[in-house]
Structure 1
Amino acid sequence: MAGRVDSDKVKEKASDNLNDLPTFHAENMQNNAKVMYYSRTFMSIIGGVVAGILGLTGLMGFVFYFLIMGITSVGLAAKAGFSIHSYFDSWNKILLDGFFGGLMSFVLFWTFAYDIVHIF
């Protein structure tokens, strides 16, 4: 049979549960997203130039892009000390956010560098 619950203990448990909730500062989250976006864009540009200089064409160039973005994701996670939930609200933020956004920059610099080195 269930006993009577003391109301003070329920209030203490409720306040403890509220303290356990993670809190995020909106400005810090925006700054983290901006840094991640700039890092991915920069790595897309550098990766495109390297792919163009190496002479990668077709599917191998896109495989190189996905490899560069994977390395960038691991680098960002390492920068966060692999404690992603302290800086972002989910793993998807660091793994997939901006993944395809840098693809246009990659293709632009990939074709530009390939044209300069291998065609002209």
Structure 2
Amino acid sequence: MIDPMANLDPTAPGGGGPDLNNDSSDPSREVFDMDAYKSNFRKMDKIRSFMGIASGCVAGVCGLTGLSGLACFLILHTTVSLAILATKMNFSLHSYTISKSESIVSFLLTDLQKCALSFMLFWTLFFGLVYLF
């Protein structure tokens, strides 16, 4: 996130502080708030975890088995990740991540394994509740 009002000098010994020699309108200086990053990451983690649980319930109730259940999970996971990217981040991924080289594909695949475990748990639970009992 670029903050021209911060007036920080990254070459200063402390990495910050006022720099009266540089123009404060220089857009090459960036300020990154680690607390905001952690808060945003926790919110995305909660949304994706809830999506894994909800999509597992949907797949179990609909009776999806095998690859159709896996396809359901992958479609819903990428849909939710794209919704986060579009509505909350305005497709400006580099403004919300630490590494400026992160791609949209890596963002979409983040937390895939953790969400898949929640998905499988609720998928088998609801499939068993609806079709076996």
2:66 partner amino acid: G
Question: Structure 2 unaligned runs (5+)?
Answer: 1-21
Question: Is it true that 1:91 corresponds to 2:100 in the alignment?
Answer: no
Aligned to 1:6: none
Residues in 2 aligned to 1:91 and 1:34: alpha-carbon distance in whole angstroms? 20
Among all aligned residue pairs of Structure 1 and Structure 2, give the percentage whose two residues are the same amino acid. Answer: 34
After TM superposition, the runs of 4+ consecutive aligned structure 1 residues lying more than 4 A away are none
Question: Structure 1 unaligned runs (5+)?
Answer: 1-14
TM-score by length of 2: 0.72
Q: Between Structure 1 and Structure 2, whose CA radius of gyration is higher? A: 1
Residue 96 of structure 1 deviates from its aligned partner by 2.2
Q: RMSD of the alignment, in Å? A: 2.0
1:31 to 26, 39, 48: 39
Q: 3-state SS of the aligned residue for 1:57?
A: coil
Higher RCO (CA < 8 A, seq sep 6+): 1
Alignment of structure 1 residues 6-17 onto 2, 5 Å: 15=22
The number of residue pairs the alignment matches comes to 106
Flag the structure with higher helix content. 1
Residues in 2 aligned to 1:97 and 1:80: alpha-carbon distance in whole angstroms? 15
